[in-house]
Amino acid sequence: MNTPASNATALASRTSRTRFLVVGAGELGIAVLEALTAHITKNEFSDTVTVLLRPPADSAASPAKSRQLSELESLGVSVEYADVSTASVTDLTTVFSRYDTVLSCIGFAAGPGTQLKLTEAALAAGVPRYLPWQFGVDYDLVGRGSPQDLFDEQLDVRDLLRGQDTTRWIIVSAGMFTSFLFEPAFGVVDTSTRTVHALGSWDTAVTLTTPEDIGLLTTQILYTEPPVDGIVYLAGDTITYGQLADLVQEVLHTDVTRIEWSVEHLQAELAQEPADTMKKYRAVFGQGVGVAWPVASSFNAQQSIAMTSARQWAEQNLPAAASPR
């Protein structure tokens, strides 16, 4: 049986060519693919990058699929096909066994059980290095039985990884995607009514990172020497909801209405609609446990790598008020 140390040696001995497989090409997957291929090109490495995509619905690719394939080709990315939501562990094991590093960029939308299945396949394939989809909160601190039931599966994944000594693994914790905090459906920032809601309290904090920054930092982590293992924390920004309200007010040049949603309020809302995904997320983040960490303790701060702050994101993306008050 190989050990993480021997796998590290195996990876180091393949300096001429490391075979990367990125699972999924959504918002995060594309960011990882762009950053990874740019790094390889810049440094003139011979490493290869392949992406695993869902097979086209029919033999004739749609215009959107054709554009995606053209974009991937321009990046120098090869394509394999498998539907991770329906493929068996055996099917995925066969695919994964051809690669040295597998990065899962398939999130919860793939359905319950997918994260565990992908991890089981990576371990069965003996992949030397695996990065599961764990680009969010600190699931260890959140714990089991949280309002977002999908988080329990993330702990199952961690148990699997920690219970073996063959595959090296890296978990990149980046908090919440910065854009998600401002997503109208999430309900925290409503620019149309100039309203900001606090989840839990105005002093509750949340760590934010953009997918683009996650892609850049994940690439940096993959090429760090000596190799990085275990859990790595990123933080584009960590702010309280009170600071968020101040930020939105200043960026929009207008007063905002501030409404606090207490933990009790969020739990009561979820109890009324227990299947509502957004209410699950609001209840988790309102508790404020495992969802924020100091920027100073992050990998990017320790490496002196500049990231996109919440203010920078807001200034670039929020609609400006018609006129300042």
Question: pTM for this structure?
Answer: 0.91
Q: Is 179 helix (H, G, I), strand (E, B) or coil?
A: helix
Q: What share of the chain is helix, strand, coil (3-state, %, to 5)?
A: 45, 15, 40
Question: Over the stretch 205-230, which tens digit does the pLDDT of each residue have?
Answer: 999 999 999 999 999 999 999 999 99
Q: How many residues does the chain have?
A: 325
Per-residue confidence band for 6, with pLDDT thresholds at 50, 70 and 90: very low
The more confidently predicted of residues 100 and 324 is 100
C-alpha distances (whole Å) from 70 to each of 5, 34, 61, 63, 75 are 39, 13, 12, 10, 9
Please state, as a whole number, how many other Cβ atoms lie within 10 Å of the Cβ of residue 213: 23
pLDDT of residue 110: 82
CA distance linking residue 305 with residue 299, whole number of Å: 9
Superfamily the domain 4-177+207-237+289-307 falls into: NAD(P)-binding Rossmann-like Domain (3.40.50.720)
For helices 151-162 and 114-124, the axis angle rounded to 10 degrees is: 10
Per-residue confidence band for 191, with pLDDT thresholds at 50, 70 and 90: very high
| Averaged pLDDT, 270-289 | 96
pLDDT of residue 4: 47
| Averaged pLDDT, 164-192 | 96
pLDDT of residue 57: 73
3-state secondary structure 13-74: HCCCCCEEEEECCCHHHHHHHHHHHHHHHHCCCCCEEEEEECCCCCCCCCHHHHHHHHHHHH
Res. 154: pLDDT tops 90: yes
Q: Which residues of 272-282 are buried (b: 16+ CB within 10 A; e: fewer)?
A: eeeeeeebbbb
Could you tell me where the DSSP H helices lie in 253-307?
A: 263-272, 277-287, 299-302
| Averaged pLDDT, 281-289 | 97
| Averaged pLDDT, 106-125 | 93
pLDDT of residue 2: 37
Res. 15: pLDDT tops 90: no
pLDDT of residue 61: 62
Phi, psi of 113 (to 5 degrees): 90, -15
Cβ-based burial of 14 (10 A; exposed 0-12, middle 13-18, buried ≥19): middle
Identify each DSSP E strand in the chain by its residue range. Answer: 19-23, 48-53, 78-81, 101-104, 129-131, 168-173, 176-177, 189-190, 195-199, 205-209, 230-233, 237-240, 257-261
pLDDT of residue 108: 87
CA 317 to chain centre: 20
Lowest average pLDDT, out of 34-38, 223-227, 281-285, goes to 223-227
Share of the chain above pLDDT 90, in %: 85
Question: Over the stretch 133-152, which tens digit does the pLDDT of each residue have?
Answer: 999 999 999 999 999 999 99
Question: Over the stretch 116-127, which tens digit does the pLDDT of each residue have?
Answer: 999 999 999 999
pLDDT of residue 3: 44
Is the preceding peptide bond at 226 cis, omega within 30 degrees of 0? Answer: yes
| Averaged pLDDT, 149-172 | 96
Q: Is 213 helix (H, G, I), strand (E, B) or coil?
A: helix
| Averaged pLDDT, 281-301 | 97
Res. 263: pLDDT tops 70: yes
Domain positions in the chain = 4-177+207-237+289-307
pLDDT of residue 319: 79
